[in-house]
Structure 1
């Protein structure tokens, strides 16, 4: 008994000594420091390190000489808050309710999971973020030791290991919100050569200038990155520090940021691997890594490098590890609401093939979004479309999308030629469709409910809601999947689903009909009944939308009536999205919203105001 007491005391003393040593740095440097350098809004397509038409980035390239260049690194979301919510949680945003940009309601972290820097702090790391967070989740108080535009690794205790994030905004989309005066002040002759424009872009002087100016901003970002790397060297830290450089999602040339094309998701990633820690990584310094890595994997990778156990509730996996026998070749993407603009798109890339599923294909890519169209190039693209001066590939941005899209990225890097209907690729299409479906049902994907309903019913505990409604979501997915088939095969099934007791089965049956368009006009009577009598307002609106798409009737007055009757600004925003789609599509409808008829909570919402200002100016 006496011996056990002595042993217990020695064990307590040993633990106290270990905590003291870790917190005061005596053994802390046995763990590496980790730095994330993020540049905003640039995909890999604009850097010579990846693309011959890109600009040289000598400081980032120098970083690659002592580390790794990842040729297949991907953001899972093509916009800031969704991408960063994925990064900080190691979790897929549609599973945890963080998929909408920007949040209308912050959601809690899942049970038994914290943002990953929390675990680093618990292990003795100093965590600092300079400065952007932009999470769609409740952060809690123990994620960062410091998060501000003054945050720095230099504020840690002497010798304490650190995780430091530094964000550069010089490449942000807002840099391209210039007017003609910018082009006069900074002539194109002073900028890097623009290189070849994307084949689906108008081949105009404005697009050339926009790309050249964007390349100039990337060159400036590289200079700033070089200053930070030099500071790490001067501080004698580079030999103990993993340094990640990556873009926080895709670029901002039109049709990139906010879209699940490669230009919206495929990011540069370069990682400096310290010589003393090279045995922790399976790849040799200077290698170009072909493994697919996604933002969902970044947090688990940092924890693994720090010797911290990866929580089992994270979706991602470490990609820097000693043994890498089965490298990943799959990445998933998601796009939902961006400010006031709604869509619902999912993607999977496996190897060289990319599959995109448009669950609302009637929401054409070019649907108005105020922030996107602050860019002159977007405005010109739309003007050229309306004046009939675009070719078939350039026009596609403003036209209804296919339900399914399949691309061979190696042959078609800008996703121009859709192979989904080519019989030669049927086997590949079926495999990719299954890959995506298995993934979104396994989460499950919460976006099969409208956002306003999730805010009211699910966002107090999104993960639990998803688990409780897995069977329902599977049913909704099966319903919208009828849009993939020949209409005459599924006409009777869709008719039954229009009369289902579950309102969201009816919702997705209506979306399937709108995907078919005029071909589904035979179900006009059943849809007309829903438009008048369905107890769910948004179903009445979706029914009216279908009748408008088919040319049966002008739906605008009925949709406006629904808008006036809602007290929920989130539901109103979805209704307004449908009004804009019907007004700007090929249907010839017009709308005139009487603001005085809107409920005050609706009329005062900032996203609603942007939609109303756009419709007023049409």
Structure 2
């Protein structure tokens, strides 16, 4: 387990080292331009996406007093910075799934981190449209779309570059910098200095004593050290951006290129990445129009724009800037160019399974207020999660939380449960610490946003209402996107109505017991989840839960079994979970394994079964039978087994 986790982290560190070894050169192309002469003007603009990982808008151009980001600040001075830009999910692959298709991950079924859910044939990744229109499309180099398609790009890899196109061919090129990924902040000070800090001039390095921490973080030397590293990494990444822009200048292409810079989601720290707060969803977005296309710009250079923009708007925007039509399946709207749509009223976000930790939360935000709905409020904000729990910052925060020294907003984040609903005034409360959900003065806002979120889930056919294993079972021979739009295959309103009963209290007990007998497996699943969320108040439904231990849906069986085990009725329930470990479908096994992990001591009688199952997913060399669900299954089972060791 430990070896495999270090391998994953090692990959990210190696990627950072490769960037350092290139003397901050960004990406070294495999080919050079055929000449140094600027290319002739052309109608089609070149489009360059520069992305980085895991940063919030902690840049000088966004007013951060600690940031040292001269290259990005210059880009903002020459272009437009969007102050209300958000992504559709607080983790990587669901966002990238959306970015490559223009469709919400919750519509495609690709909302879970590290899953494999191909889109239907009718939904083609948008670079294919650009290639058909004559564009050279390159990606350097991360994909991570939750599906594989080798036909998206002309080239995708560490040497992918606009310089590899035909002379004069317009290009759409993506460069992704991993130097700011959360995996880079760990390790010793000596390691961090060698890989990153030594590449910064002394005046570019940050002083940990001067940084202002967010109010929900305790002020300790370790916390300050991690924050200092993050700021240093952002400065390092800024140099990579500067180098790439210099390559554009050297090739005489800046005047004919539209440059986008943005992050895939918020910072890779607790209460940032993986959360639906602005700290997890709000990102920097800067767009610079080359001189030949400045008429398409929304404002004069150096201005800021406060309109709401979602990452789902980027694909249709690129298509229209390239002179292409927007396909009907795209769910975003162009925010630039002659076909720019009116400003949005709302942006939406979704949080689902990350690694082995199941979650389902959704949010909607207007320019001022944010509403979050948690459909699994009985689970903590920060669940046990192997990859995150190895990070020094998480270990430090857990240590302080266990000591009882956290207070106020620092403490609430570590509670064992979370509220069903949250509402924040992001203007008066930018850190989203004062939950207004019960405020009489905000009743109308709460109702408006609650209704808007529900309407969005129904309108976009949010298949996250299907538990992951059941989603794949129901979509066999098709895709989640298609079955959600097929008459009778997905009674979404009835499923959502049951999910909305989760967390509202004992008054839902009667309805949830009825839901256990519904003819749709997703209704039965949410009825079981609702009873689980009731905790001790679910006692009157225990006999009904025992009746569904033989349910044809594995997710229903496992949810009921987990609750029965917690009530001390494990004699029949625990074998249901251990049987699930032998299922040939990894999405099924993961749910059983995670349920066992969260049972703690009550799972100990199943240690032998768990160990047998774990060995099926771990090779003799310590690697996993695949890089996704097998790894998550092994993580969950290893943690469950370790907990039971004397």
Scaled to the shorter chain, the TM-score interval is 0.7 to 0.9
Deviation at 1:554, TM superposition (A): 6.2
SS in 2 for 1:296: helix
Equivalent residue for 2:402?
Answer: 386
Equivalent residue for 1:487?
Answer: 506
What's the RMSD between the two structures over aligned residues?
2.7
SS in 2 for 1:224: helix
Q: Does 1:64 align with 2:76?
A: yes
SS in 2 for 1:30: coil
Deviation at 1:32, TM superposition (A): 0.8
Equivalent residue for 2:642?
Answer: 617
Say if 2:467 and 2:522, in contact at 8 Å, map to a contact too: no
Q: Deviations over 1:382-421 (max 9, x none)?
A: 1222232222422333321111111111122222222112
Say if 1:500 and 1:506, in contact at 8 Å, map to a contact too: yes
Determine the C-alpha separation between the residues in 1 that align with 2:531 and 2:603.
22
Determine the C-alpha separation between the residues in 1 that align with 2:589 and 2:132.
44
Q: Does 1:38 align with 2:55?
A: no
Deviation at 1:597, TM superposition (A): 4.5
Deviation at 1:304, TM superposition (A): 0.6
**Which residue, 164, 167, 172 being the options, matches 1:163?**
172
For residues 514-593 of structure 1, what are the structure 2 equivalents within 5 Å?
A: 514-531=532-549, 533-547=550-564, 551=567, 557=574, 560-564=577-581, 566-583=583-600, 591=604, 593=607
SS in 1 for 2:239: helix
Equivalent residue for 1:114?
Answer: 124
Deviation at 1:27, TM superposition (A): 8.4
SS in 1 for 2:491: helix
Determine the C-alpha separation between the residues in 2 that align with 1:534 and 1:227.
58
Say if 1:331 and 1:348, in contact at 8 Å, map to a contact too: yes
Q: Does 1:98 align with 2:110?
A: yes
Equivalent residue for 2:26?
Answer: none
Deviation at 1:50, TM superposition (A): 2.1
SS in 1 for 2:83: strand
SS in 2 for 1:243: strand
Equivalent residue for 1:131?
Answer: 141
Determine the C-alpha separation between the residues in 2 that align with 1:463 and 1:183.
43
Determine the C-alpha separation between the residues in 1 that align with 2:154 and 2:523.
47
Q: Does 1:85 align with 2:102?
A: no
**Which residue, 613, 616, 624 being the options, matches 1:598?**
613
Say if 2:528 and 2:559, in contact at 8 Å, map to a contact too: yes
SS in 1 for 2:81: strand
Q: Deviations over 1:235-289 (max 9, x none)?
A: 1111111011111111112222222221111110111112332222333322211
Question: Runs of 5+ in structure 1 lacking a partner?
Answer: 1-24
Q: Does 1:47 align with 2:59?
A: yes
Deviation at 1:353, TM superposition (A): 0.9
C-alpha spacing 1:606/1:599, structure 2 compared with 1 (3 Å): closer
**Which residue, 500, 513, 516 being the options, matches 2:518?**
500
Equivalent residue for 1:192?
Answer: 206
Q: Does 1:424 align with 2:424?
A: no
Equivalent residue for 1:11?
Answer: none
Determine the C-alpha separation between the residues in 2 that align with 1:323 and 1:91.
19
SS in 2 for 1:360: coil
Determine the C-alpha separation between the residues in 1 that align with 2:66 and 2:349.
24
Determine the C-alpha separation between the residues in 1 that align with 2:562 and 2:108.
30
Equivalent residue for 2:430?
Answer: 413
Determine the C-alpha separation between the residues in 2 that align with 1:596 and 1:366.
26
Determine the C-alpha separation between the residues in 1 that align with 2:512 and 2:418.
21
SS in 2 for 1:329: coil
Q: Deviations over 1:318-348 (max 9, x none)?
A: 1102475731131111121212222111111
Deviation at 1:124, TM superposition (A): 0.9
C-alpha spacing 1:449/1:228, structure 2 compared with 1 (3 Å): same
SS in 2 for 1:214: helix
Q: Deviations over 1:4-27 (max 9, x none)?
A: xxxxxxxxxxxxxxxxxxxxx998
Q: How many pairs were matched up?
A: 583
Determine the C-alpha separation between the residues in 1 that align with 2:260 and 2:518.
51
Deviation at 1:487, TM superposition (A): 3.3
Deviates most, 456-465 or 374-383: 456-465
C-alpha spacing 1:303/1:544, structure 2 compared with 1 (3 Å): same
For residues 217-616 of structure 1, what are the structure 2 equivalents within 5 Å?
A: 217-322=233-338, 326-398=342-414, 399-458=416-475, 460-468=478-486, 469=488, 472-483=491-502, 485=504, 487-488=506-507, 490-531=508-549, 533-547=550-564, 551=567, 557=574, 560-564=577-581, 566-583=583-600, 591=604, 593-594=607-608, 595-598=610-613, 605-616=630-641
Equivalent residue for 1:173?
Answer: 182
Say if 2:107 and 2:461, in contact at 8 Å, map to a contact too: yes
**Which residue, 133, 147, 162 being the options, matches 2:156?**
147
Say if 1:282 and 1:323, in contact at 8 Å, map to a contact too: no
C-alpha spacing 1:178/1:135, structure 2 compared with 1 (3 Å): same
Deviates most, 299-308 or 188-197: 188-197
SS in 2 for 1:576: helix
Q: Rg bigger for which structure?
A: 1
Determine the C-alpha separation between the residues in 2 that align with 1:447 and 1:575.
18
SS in 2 for 1:405: strand
Say if 1:170 and 1:220, in contact at 8 Å, map to a contact too: yes
- The alignment's TM-score, normalised by the length of structure 2, stands at 0.84
Deviation at 1:593, TM superposition (A): 2.5
Deviation at 1:200, TM superposition (A): 1.7
Deviates most, 238-247 or 154-163: 154-163
Say if 2:259 and 2:287, in contact at 8 Å, map to a contact too: yes
Deviation at 1:83, TM superposition (A): 1.2
